[in-house]
């Protein structure tokens, strides 16, 4: 089994840059709408997380603001486009873009999804589900090995939110993910909202999922809001929309996860209908409070 | 129409992706809900995510175009584009670069012949926003160039520089449909407009060009010397004011490098058109 250092071995670390994440101080997603407010107000928040692909342009305000914000805060980089779950090869060009970004901003954490998005017709702009089969497992493991070796650091793999299952799946999702962790040495980004959404949509127990997952591998937790729609039979179909407050039931599941795992860097995702910064910060404060209460 | 439904990992993704983009196809075999039965409803969540996500990307990139045609029309037009134009990379700010061409050829928009050019200004704005950084030079960068070398002078323009030519008053229409500029009246017979888009520092600037300016700036962008670029601009039917354009080069902070080369003073390396 390979092991990887948490910190990038590349580049120098500027002395002023906050390097590691405070373990119990929650972070929030970095949104262009909040750039100015963050620089003006310097709010008390643990870290900011960026979507890697939004900072892959050559220059411009995204890099200018991120550079300024990086001088004051730790950041984490969350990729959405590597397509680790693709049956085809990883894009070397995209791996290189990630490497450049990681070397430039020295994130405390780097994460990607257990999902796919590349297709012969082009890039499918969504996080698509994979069947949990031996063949898929081998491919995902190859891809994570490749990515970790190329990037020279450990990757945190995020569990997906899904709306369908595949008839050919032969693993449960936690078993599949635990096996990936065992074979690659990668860490986990446990998205508690995703667990809740998928549990509702597929009829499994989200608490049992949290209990079953490899706790030692969890390096980060995501929380987000979801939308309640209806399936054809009238039962709730939850959609992972990141467009509202974290649901009460997800907070409860989060408390359970923290009680089981211990304090973990936690981050609030809010990617659509983006609120003013104080609303987002209040959610991260709530994460701190719930985490503190759960760890006693 | 039947099509293969292989259960290999690769075949699974091939068919899944095809059905995602083509709603007329049946959903892939073995895509099921909790009851173990095929679920069109659930597969359609992914269909909707992909299409709605890309439509939303276009809405964000072309706000003035949205304003001109209204959200409903824009969404319908964007959906037509999205199902036939997949992104080529996960960098969604790159998506929709040929959307202005699609608009030009979109029959329901034919009553708004300027719409594609307004979208081209918006596209240039996005490209300038994300372009590489480079430090603009002041006009004093010319002071050490010997008079004899001036005719060999080439200027390197800022990498964010974009030049557009419209048969319509596209810039005026764009301005009227951005948040800060409303309430003007524009007549389509106000004539053609030429536009310069550049981001020399933090902000993207959009300028109208004087007549002949587009030919001059385009020639410079393609590597022509000052003299050759000016010659090309003088060839146009429009009167061309070289001094005014020289001033604009520096006022708009377009110049990031200079070069004097005598290697090929009669360079014909400039592409016309």
Minimal-distance CA residue of chain B relative to A198: B34
Is there a single domain that holds both residue B83 and residue B165? no
pLDDT of residue B146: 77
Across chain B, what does the average pLDDT equal? 89
Q: How far apart are CA A207 and CA A131, in angstroms?
A: 22
Q: How far apart are CA B176 and CA A69, in angstroms?
A: 34
Whether B46 sits inside 8 A of A126 (CB atoms) is yes
pLDDT of residue A16: 60
Is there a single domain that holds both residue B98 and residue B225? no
Whether B90 sits inside 8 A of A61 (CB atoms) is no
Domain assignment present for B187: yes
Q: Which residues of B touch A124 (CB under 8 A)?
A: 17, 20-21, 50, 86
Domain stop point among B60, B77, B112: B112
Distance from B266 to chain A by nearest Cα, in Å? 34
In chain B, the number of structural domains is 2
pLDDT of residue B189: 75
Q: Which residues of B touch A164 (CB under 8 A)?
A: 31-33, 39, 42-43, 46
Q: What's the pLDDT tens digit per position in B187-235?
A: 777 789 999 999 999 999 999 998 888 999 999 999 999 999 999 999 8
Whether A125 sits inside 8 A of B31 (CB atoms) is no
A156-158/A187-191 β-pairing: parallel
A170: helix, strand or coil: coil
Res A3 pLDDT > 50: no
Domain stop point among B112, B142, B175: B112
Q: Please say whether the dihedral angle defined by the alpha carbons of residues A92, A96, A101 and A103, taken in this order, is positive or negative.
A: positive
Domain assignment present for B127: no
Is there a single domain that holds both residue B247 and residue B147? yes
Domain stop point among B61, B79, B112: B112
Residue B243 at interface with chain A, using a CB cutoff of 8 Å: no
- b/e map A120-158, b = 16+ CB within 10 Å: eebbbbbbbbbbbbebbbebbbebbbbbbeebebbbbbb
Is there a single domain that holds both residue B44 and residue B154? no
Minimal-distance CA residue of chain A relative to B56: A272
DSSP string, chain B: -------SHHHHHHHHHHHHH-TTSPPPTTEE-TTSSB-HHHHHHHHHHHHHHHHHHHHHH-HHHHHHH-HHHHHHHHHHHHHH---SSS-GGGTTTTHHHHHHT-GGGTT-TTHHHHHHHHHHHHHHHHSPP-PPPPGGGGTTS-GGGGGGEEEEEPTT-EEEEESS-HHHHHHHTBTTB-S----GGG--EEEEEE-SSSS-EEEEPPTTHHHHHHHHHTT--HHHHHHHHHHSSS---HHHHHHHHHHTT-EEEEEE--SSTT---PPP-
Q: Which residues of A touch B132 (CB under 8 A)?
A: 58-59
Whether A60 sits inside 8 A of B131 (CB atoms) is yes
Q: What's the pLDDT tens digit per position in A113-171?
A: 999 999 998 999 999 999 999 999 999 999 999 999 999 999 999 999 999 999 999 99
B193-198/B162-166 β-pairing: antiparallel
Domain assignment present for B92: yes
Is there a single domain that holds both residue B103 and residue B238? no
Q: Which residues of B touch A64 (CB under 8 A)?
A: 202
Is there a single domain that holds both residue B141 and residue B55? no
Distance from A154 to chain B by nearest Cα, in Å? 22
With contact defined as beta carbons under 8 Å apart, do A62 and A105 qualify? Answer: no
- Tokens coding B155: 């200027």
Q: How far apart are CA B147 and CA B168, in angstroms?
A: 40
Instruction: State the average pLDDT over residues B228-247.
Output: 89
Is there a single domain that holds both residue B179 and residue B252? yes
Q: How far apart are CA B234 and CA B219, in angstroms?
A: 12
Is there a single domain that holds both residue B139 and residue B231? yes
pLDDT of residue B183: 63
B260 contacts: CB under 8 Å, gap ≥ 6 = B145, B149, B150, B152, B153, B154
Whether A53 sits inside 8 A of B12 (CB atoms) is no
Domain assignment present for B120: no
Please give the DSSP secondary-structure letter assigned to residue A159.
P
* Of A139, A217, A183, nearest in space to B10 by CA: A139
Q: What's the pLDDT tens digit per position in A180-201?
A: 999 999 999 999 999 999 999 9
At B147, is the pLDDT very low, low, confident or very high (cuts 50, 70, 90)?
confident
Q: Which residues of B touch A57 (CB under 8 A)?
A: 91, 93, 129-131
Distance from B164 to chain A by nearest Cα, in Å? 21
Is there a single domain that holds both residue B104 and residue B137? no
pLDDT of residue A24: 60
- Domains of chain A, each with CATH number or no CATH: 27-295 (3.20.20.150)
- Residue written as tokens 């659930």? B42
Name residue A76's beta-bridge partners.
A49, A109
A259: helix, strand or coil: helix
- Tokens coding A111: 């994460």
A61: helix, strand or coil: helix
* Of A227, A122, A236, A85, nearest in space to B20 by CA: A122
- b/e map B180-208, b = 16+ CB within 10 Å: eeeeeebeeeeeebbbbbbbbeeebebbe
Find the distance separating the first CA and the last CA of chain B, reported in whole Å. Answer: 46
Domain assignment present for B121: no
Is there a single domain that holds both residue B164 and residue B242? yes
With contact defined as beta carbons under 8 Å apart, do A278 and A231 qualify? Answer: no
Minimal-distance CA residue of chain B relative to A126: B50
Q: How far apart are CA A52 and CA B13, in angstroms?
A: 24
- The parent domain of residue B67 ranges over 1-112
- Tokens coding B109: 């928009």
Is there a single domain that holds both residue B138 and residue B261? yes
Residue B212 CB coordination number (10 Å): 23
Is there a single domain that holds both residue B212 and residue B88? no
Q: Which residues of A touch B201 (CB under 8 A)?
A: none
Minimal-distance CA residue of chain B relative to A91: B89
* Of B121, B126, B124, nearest in space to B173 by CA: B121
A86: helix, strand or coil: coil
Whether A237 sits inside 8 A of B45 (CB atoms) is yes
At A296, is the pLDDT very low, low, confident or very high (cuts 50, 70, 90)?
confident
Distance from B17 to chain A by nearest Cα, in Å? 6
Helical ranges in chain A per DSSP H:
35-41, 61-70, 92-105, 134-151, 173-184, 192-202, 206-212, 248-261, 277-295
User: Burial level of B209, CB count in 10 A (0-12/13-18/19+)?
Assistant: buried
pLDDT of residue A12: 41
pLDDT of residue A14: 41
With contact defined as beta carbons under 8 Å apart, do A164 and B42 qualify? Answer: yes
Instruction: State the average pLDDT over residues A23-49.
Output: 93
Whether B34 sits inside 8 A of A165 (CB atoms) is yes
The residue with greater pLDDT, B268 or B168, is B168
Q: How far apart are CA A96 and CA A72, in angstroms?
A: 26
């Amino acid at each position: 089994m390979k092991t990887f250092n948490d910190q990038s071995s590349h580049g120098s670390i500027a002395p002023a840059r906050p390097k590691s994440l405070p373990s119990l101080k929650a972070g929030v997603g970095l949104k262009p709408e909040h750039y100015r407010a963050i620089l003006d107000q310097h709010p008390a928040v643990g870290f900011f997380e960026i979507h890697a692909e939004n900072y892959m342009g050559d220059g411009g305000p995204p890099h200018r603001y991120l550079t300024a914000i990086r001088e004051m805060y730790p950041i984490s980089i969350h990729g959405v486009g590597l397509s680790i779950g693709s049956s085809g090869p990883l894009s070397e060009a995209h791996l290189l873009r990630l490497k450049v970004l990681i070397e430039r901003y020295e994130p405390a954490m780097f994460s990607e999804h257990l999902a796919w998005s590349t297709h012969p017709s082009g890039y499918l702009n969504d996080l698509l589900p994979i069947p949990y089969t031996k063949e898929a497992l081998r491919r995902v493991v190859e891809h994570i090995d490749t990515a970790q070796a190329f990037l020279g650091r450990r990757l945190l793999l995020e569990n997906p939110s899904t709306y369908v299952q595949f008839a050919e799946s032969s693993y449960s999702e936690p078993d599949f993910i635990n096996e990936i962790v065992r074979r690659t040495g990668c860490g986990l980004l446990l998205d508690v909202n995703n667990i809740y959404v998928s549990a509702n949509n597929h009829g499994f127990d989200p608490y049992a999922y949290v209990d079953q997952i490899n706790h030692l591998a969890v390096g980060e937790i995501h929380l987000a809001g979801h939308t309640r729609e209806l399936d054809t039979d009238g039962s709730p179909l939850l959609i992972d929309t990141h467009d509202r407050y974290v649901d009460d039931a997800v907070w409860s599941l989060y408390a359970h996860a923290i009680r089981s795992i211990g304090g973990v860097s936690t981050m609030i995702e809010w990617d659509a209908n983006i609120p003013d910064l104080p609303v987002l910060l209040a959610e991260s404060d709530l994460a701190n409070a719930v985490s503190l209460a759960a760890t006693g | 129409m039947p099509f293969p439904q292989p259960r290999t990992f690769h075949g699974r993704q091939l068919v899944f992706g095809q059905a995602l983009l083509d709603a007329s196809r049946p959903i892939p075999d073995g895509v099921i809900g909790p009851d173990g039965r095929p679920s069109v409803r659930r597969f359609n969540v992914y269909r909707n995510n992909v299409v709605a996500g890309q439509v939303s990307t276009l809405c964000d990139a072309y706000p003035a175009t949205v304003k001109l045609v209204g959200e409903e029309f824009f969404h319908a037009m964007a959906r037509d584009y999205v199902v036939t134009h997949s992104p080529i990379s996960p960098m969604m700010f790159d998506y929709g670069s040929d959307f202005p061409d699609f608009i030009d050829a979109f029959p329901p928009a034919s009553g708004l012949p300027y719409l594609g050019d307004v979208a081209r200004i918006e596209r240039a704005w996005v490209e300038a926003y994300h372009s590489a950084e480079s430090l603009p030079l002041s006009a004093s960068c010319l002071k050490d160039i010997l008079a004899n070398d001036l005719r060999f002078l080439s200027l390197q323009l800022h990498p964010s520089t974009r030049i557009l030519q419209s048969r319509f008053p596209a810039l005026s229409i764009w301005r009227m449909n951005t948040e800060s500029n409303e309430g003007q009246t524009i007549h389509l017979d106000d004539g053609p407009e030429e536009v310069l888009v550049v981001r020399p520092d933090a902000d993207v600037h959009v300028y109208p060009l004087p007549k002949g300016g587009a030919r001059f700036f385009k020639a410079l962008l393609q590597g022509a010397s000052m003299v050759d670029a000016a010659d090309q601009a003088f060839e146009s039917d429009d009167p061309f004011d070289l001094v005014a354009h020289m001033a604009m080069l520096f006022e708009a902070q377009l110049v990031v490098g200079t070069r004097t080369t005598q290697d090929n003073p009669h360079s014909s390396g400039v592409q016309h058109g």
